[in-house]
Amino acid sequence: MKSPQPIYISAIGCYVPTKIVSNNDLAQSVDTSDEWIHSHTGIRERRIAKPEEQCSDLAVNAALDLFAKSNRKREEIDGIIVATATADHYGFPSTACIVAEKLGIKGAAAFDIGAGCTGFIYALEIARGMIMSGSMTKALVFGSEKLSEVVNWKDRNTCVLFGDGAGCVLLERTEEPKGIIDSTLHAEGAGSLALAITKDTKTITMEGRAVYAFAVRAIGDTVLELLTRNDLTIEDITWIVPHQANHRIIAACSKRYGFDPTMFYLNIERYANTSAASIPIALAEMEEGGLLKSGQKILFVGFGAGLTYGGTLIQW
Ligand code: UT7
């Protein structure tokens, strides 16, 4: 939806657990190698949460980082949305309510949303719509995942791919001509079982090749949809911040659609796939590294379980 009023990201935070698990560490327990994992995915290592660290704890730490880096106060927050597939207590109560309690935020609307690895893009759009309608004014939007809890550590096809972490942004109105310009959300439910957490084993299963082919198309089509709808060309865009699933997906998409691969911000090497958390973690890093500058047009693109996909066009 195109934005009738400017709503922007005013602050960003992230948190990744301190424990680093390298590809070589994984090769001690499953039949894999650093060479295979890095050449097939771009991943070198991932962060793994402590057993007692829940999805809400990762999110709370991301919010504390946001508050520490900005002059924003938790009393200002009247909306909390957590995109996650790994909610504390199966999402009942919602992780967002637990985050509100742990942060001491009282009375804010708080709920979780599930859209797989596209969750952050969906959550951002829900928050934007609610700010436009007046039902929130300052929303904390999280992607937070403790995927280590739902990974089958004996399955080399999936266990090497995922990591834990959380990122969040503060979304609010501005009088300045910047912020979210447009966004698009999609789902292809026919592919829902290609990437799923199964009820019997409570672990992730994935048809890797099918999801790979979908991902290449989903990124390319989302970028083109948002460009076309807004009379822009790829040259108008400074950064594409994709969900971090596999560097080969980005390379294949760049080749097929003619995008410059260096436009894509990638940090998968260090964190692996953190699902809904990957885009806000990348944003926090980009801000920290001084890569986000006023006036830049940036695209976020998510894809994943559902099969969902979508994107956000934003002017920084
Ligand atoms: O975040 C949600 C979105 N998720 C994605 O976008 C993931 C999309 N899929 C992918 O990124 C890739 O399909 C994978 C990285 C999951 C797999 O890469 P691939 O090049 O498609 O490999 P493959 O599944 O076709 O497997 C090739 C071979 C197989 O052996 P055989 O059957 O040819 O003998 C696998 O058993 O590689 C084997 N293999 C491994 N070998 C060493 C699979 N995983 C591993 C491993 N270490 N960890």
Q: Domains in the chain and their CATH numbers?
A: 7-173 (3.40.47.10), 179-315 (3.40.47.10)
Q: What is the mean pLDDT of residues 65-80?
A: 95
26 close to ligand 1 (CB < 6 Angstrom): no
Give residue 5's pLDDT: 80
Give residue 158's pLDDT: 95
Most informative mutation of 25, 164, 212, 243 for ligand 1 (most atoms within 8 A of CB): 212
Q: Cα separation of 205 and 139, whole Å?
A: 33
196 close to ligand 1 (CB < 6 Angstrom): no
Return all residues near 307 (Cβ < 8 A) that are at least 6 apart.
116, 187, 188, 189, 191, 192, 194, 195, 211, 214, 218
Kindly list the distances between the CA atom of residue 178 and the CA atoms of 9, 153, 256, in Å, as whole numbers in the listed order: 9, 44, 31
| Mean pLDDT rounded to a whole number for the chain | 96
Cα radius of gyration (the chain): 18
Q: How confident is the model at residue 71 (pLDDT cuts 50, 70, 90)?
A: confident
Ligand 1 centre to CA of 268 (Å) is 16
**Tens of pLDDT along 260-305?**
999 999 999 999 999 999 999 999 999 999 999 999 999 999 999 9
- Residue 71 annotated as catalytic: no
Q: How confident is the model at residue 205 (pLDDT cuts 50, 70, 90)?
A: very high
Inform me whether the pLDDT recorded for 3 exceeds 80. Answer: no
Give residue 91's pLDDT: 87
Amino acid making up residue 24? N
Give residue 14's pLDDT: 98
Q: Cα separation of 138 and 172, whole Å?
A: 5
- DSSP secondary structure string, 176-196? SS-EEEEEEEEE-GGGGGGEE
**Minimal-distance CA residue to ligand 1 atom 43:** 157
* Helical (H) or strand (E) element with 215: helix 208-229
Ligand 1 centre to CA of 27 (Å) is 15
Nearest residue to 101 via CA among 154, 166, 57: 57
Q: Cα separation of 307 and 194, whole Å?
A: 8
141 close to ligand 1 (CB < 6 Angstrom): no
Ligand 1 centre to CA of 41 (Å) is 8
The catalytic residue among 55, 117, 159, 168 is 117
- Residue 40 annotated as catalytic: no
**Tens of pLDDT along 121-178?**
999 999 999 999 999 999 999 999 999 999 999 999 999 999 999 999 999 999 999 9
Angle at 62 between CA 271 and CA 157, to 5 degrees: 25
Angle at 242 between CA 239 and CA 248, to 5 degrees: 110
Percent of the chain with pLDDT over 90: 96
Q: How confident is the model at residue 89 (pLDDT cuts 50, 70, 90)?
A: very high
**Tens of pLDDT along 19-69?**
999 999 999 999 999 999 999 999 999 999 999 999 999 999 999 999 999
Ligand 1 centre to CA of 265 (Å) is 23
The atom of ligand 1 lying closest to the CA of 246 is 11
Give residue 273's pLDDT: 98
**Minimal-distance CA residue to ligand 1 atom 24:** 208
CA max distance for the chain: 56
Q: Is 75 left (phi over 0), alpha (psi -120 to 50) or beta?
A: alpha
- Residue 61 annotated as catalytic: no
Phi, psi at residue 171, to the nearest 5°? Answer: -115, 130
183 close to ligand 1 (CB < 6 Angstrom): no
Q: Cα separation of 133 and 136, whole Å?
A: 8
Q: DSSP 3-state helix, strand, coil percentages of the chain (rounded to 5)?
A: 40, 25, 30
278 close to ligand 1 (CB < 6 Angstrom): no
